[in-house]
Chain A
Amino acid sequence: MKFGVVVFPGSNCDRDIFNTIQSDLGKEVEFLWHKDKDIKHFSTGDCIVLPGGFSYGDYLRCGAIARFSPMMQSVISFAHKGGRVLGICNGFQILCESGLLPGALLMNAHRQFICKNVHLKGNDHKIYKIPVAHGDGRYYANENILDDMERNGQVILHYCNESGEMTSESNPNGASRNIAGIKNKPGNVIGLMPHPERASNPLCGNSDGIRLFEYFEMN
């Protein structure tokens, strides 16, 4: 499994995820410039990562402009063909703006930028401690879409407390139903607000990120 990390103007977690993939996951990885288009050398078993940051300065709405970059056109067709795409933080916002994932990410309910460790619960019932760092991370979709996603097992990460209980206190941004990460119906496109690349090396004091990549079957 090979990885490509898209670099937009304003991406700032591109090197972090690149290093994580290369050093901690031990996988082949390359940067993909937003003005380029060519990802023909990636097959559907490979994965394109949209990193965190502030693509295009978050102008208009987070992720709204990045969606129209030449590289995104290739990433969108790659995803439609079944190729794996992972969006982290700003990458998640871009995936929602692109229509590859349902819903949208709104300004945190308490208006503050949050940068701290949170606990997440996967559909595997395991608990992961991963940092979040965002101002616009409040996942929102209408009730019908949320019901539909839950029925299909598309909600893959919920904010929870240390014991795995999904309480309102453990919801850092006011996200609908404590949602931290989702996937599309076929399961090849994943978006999440937390940053596993910031917790994937023992030197960081936390390597739960690696467990998360295992959960995503990207290890």
Chain B
Amino acid sequence: MIYHVQIKVMPLKDLLDPQGKAVMSGLENLQIQGVKEVRVGKHITLNIEAASSDAAKALADDACKKLLANPVMEYYEIELVN
């Protein structure tokens, strides 16, 4: 079975996120008010052929640990869509 996995990779909460700051100032320039903070990360989708949802998740987790996220600067969350 093919499992659709969505992965969110975000800069660690304590780290300055210059992209988020730039987007924030863009929103301010557009007079979109009330936004107190913006942080920008990555959204990665994987279609994984696996025997079970647990196996698909484990594979995605391995991919995040080895390549998709760098734990020095990022954290990630994995979500199974189907």
Contact = CB atoms under 8 A, between A and B. Distances in A.
A109 B21 CA distance: 10
Contact of B67 (A64, A104, A111, A174): A64
A170 interface: no
Contacts of B15: 106, 140
A68 B68 CA distance: 13
Contacts of A68: 67
A111 B21 contact: yes
Nearest to A61: B70
- Sorting the interface of chain A by its residue count into under 10, 10 to 19, 20 to 34 or 35 or more gives 10 to 19
Contacts of B18: 107-111
B22 interface: yes
A97 B22 CA distance: 26
Interface residues of B, number: 11
A141 interface: yes
B73 A140 contact: yes
A103 interface: yes
Contacts of A203: none
Contacts of B19: 107, 111
Interface string A95-125: 0110000011011111100000000000000
Can you list the 4 inter-chain pairs with the closest CB atoms, starting with the nearest? A104-B72, A111-B18, A107-B18, A104-B73
15 contacts: A60-B67, A60-B68, A64-B70, A68-B67, A104-B70, A104-B72, A106-B15, A106-B16, A106-B73, A108-B18, A111-B18, A111-B22, A140-B15, A140-B73, A141-B72
Given A106-B73, A111-B22, A174-B16, 9 more contacts: A60-B68, A61-B70, A104-B73, A106-B15, A108-B18, A111-B19, A140-B15, A140-B73, A141-B72
